[in-house]
Structure 1
Amino acid sequence: MLTVCLGNYCRSPFAALALARRGGDDVQVRSARLIGKWQDQPANPSMIKAAGRLGYDLSTHRAQQITLEMLDWADTVLTMNAAVLETLRTICTEDNAQKLGLYLGDRDVPDPMGQGGDVFNDCAVLIETGTALHIGRLP
C-alpha cells in the first residue's frame, strides 16, 4: 500500500504508520509526496505531536518523492485528497491508474498545514479512523 499527499510532511506519513500498525506484519505501507520542499525532511512537528498523542512514533519519517517504481510496487495507492488523485492519474500508467483511490473513499482528508495543534489532532484521528476502510476491524 502507498499513501500519497502533496508534501509527504503531514497526512500521508501518518496514514502509512497507522495502516502499518493496523495491518501488522501482513501489510507493507510506504508514503510519498507529489511536490514540495521537504525532501528527506522529518514530518511536521505538529503532526509528530498529534501522532504521539495516539501512541505512534513518527519521528523517524523522512519525506520522499513519489516514483514510478513506487507506483509499480504498490497494490493500492491511497491519496489524501482529490487534487492529488487527479494529478497521479495524469502521470501513472494505465495499470497503475486502476490502483488509485481516495484514502477516505469519497472525501478528502483536510490538510492541516498552517493550522493549530487541534487541527493536526483532528486530522490524525480522522486518518486513524480511516484505516478501517482498508484493513479489517481491530480485534
Structure 2
Amino acid sequence: MAEVGARPEPARWSILTVCTANVCRSPLMELLLRERLDPARFEIASAGVMGWRDAPVDSMVRLELARLGLDGSEFRSRPLHPAHVKAADVVLTATKEHRASVLELDPGALRKTFTLLELAALVEDRTADSLPELVADAARRRSTAPSLLDVPDPFRRAPEVHRSTADLIDDATERLARTFATLG
C-alpha cells in the first residue's frame, strides 16, 4: 500500500541531461542512456543552460558516438527551460555549475538534480527497491559523494579530451542504466 502523500511511480521515468550548449556532454548522456534503458520505462531528453536551438552534436562528439556504436545525426540541441526541469523525474548535469543553473530555474528540483558522476557514485551501494526511493536515498546521501563530480567540457579541444570525456560519460551511464534497470 502506498503511503499517504507519496508520489506514485510514473509509468515512464523522465530523465533530463544538462550541459552548457547541449552539443557535447548532455547529448552523449542522453543518447547513451536511450540506448541502454527500456523506452517503455524511460524517457530521456537533454538541454543546455546556454543551449543553442537546433544545432547538431559537435563533430568530434559525433565521432565518439560512432566509436561507441551510436548515430547522433538526428540529434538537435535545445535551450533549457523551467518546464523541462519540472517535467523531469531526475536531472543529470555535466557539472556542479550546471546543477546550480538548474536550481536557479527551479529551486524545488534539488532532491532530483545531481551531476552525472555524483549520482553514478551514489547508486553504487544502493538499498532502494524503486526509482523514487533510489533518488530520495541519493539526495539524502549527497554529502558522501566523491569530490570530483564534473565531466570536463571537450568543446573545441583535442580529440584526446573528447575521447576521455566520452569514456567517462560512457562508464557513468552504464553504471546508472544497470542500476535503473534492476529497480521496480
Q: Could you list the runs of 5+ residues in structure 1 that have no partner in the other structure?
A: none
- Please tell me whether residue 40 in structure 1 is matched to residue 54 in structure 2: yes
SS of the aligned residue for 1:4 comes to strand
Letter in 2 for 1:100: T
Q: Could you list the runs of 5+ residues in structure 2 that have no partner in the other structure?
A: 1-14, 119-145
2:85–2:102: 8 Å Cα contact kept in structure 1? no
- Please tell me whether residue 134 in structure 1 is matched to residue 134 in structure 2: no
TM-score, reference length from structure 2: 0.69
Name 2:158's counterpart in structure 1. Answer: 116
**Cα offset for 1:125?**
1.3
Q: 1:54 to 1:132 in 2, by over 3 A?
A: closer
TM-score, reference length from structure 1: 0.90
Letter in 1 for 2:169: I
* Count of aligned residue pairs for this structure pair: 136
Distance 1:93 1:10 in 2: 25
**Cα offset for 1:93?**
4.0
Distance 2:43 2:67 in 1: 23
- Please tell me whether residue 28 in structure 1 is matched to residue 43 in structure 2: yes
SS of the aligned residue for 1:20 comes to helix
1:50–1:117: 8 Å Cα contact kept in structure 2? no
Letter in 2 for 1:112: P
Structure-to-structure mapping, 1:1-139, within 5 angstroms? 1-25=15-39, 26-36=41-51, 38-94=52-108, 96-105=109-118, 106=146, 107-136=149-178
Letter in 2 for 1:136: R
Asked which structure has the greater CA Rg, the reply is: 2
Letter in 2 for 1:129: D
Distance 1:8 1:87 in 2: 14
SS of the aligned residue for 1:104 comes to helix
Distance 1:117 1:39 in 2: 25
What RMSD over aligned residues (CA atoms) do the two structures have, in Å? 1.6
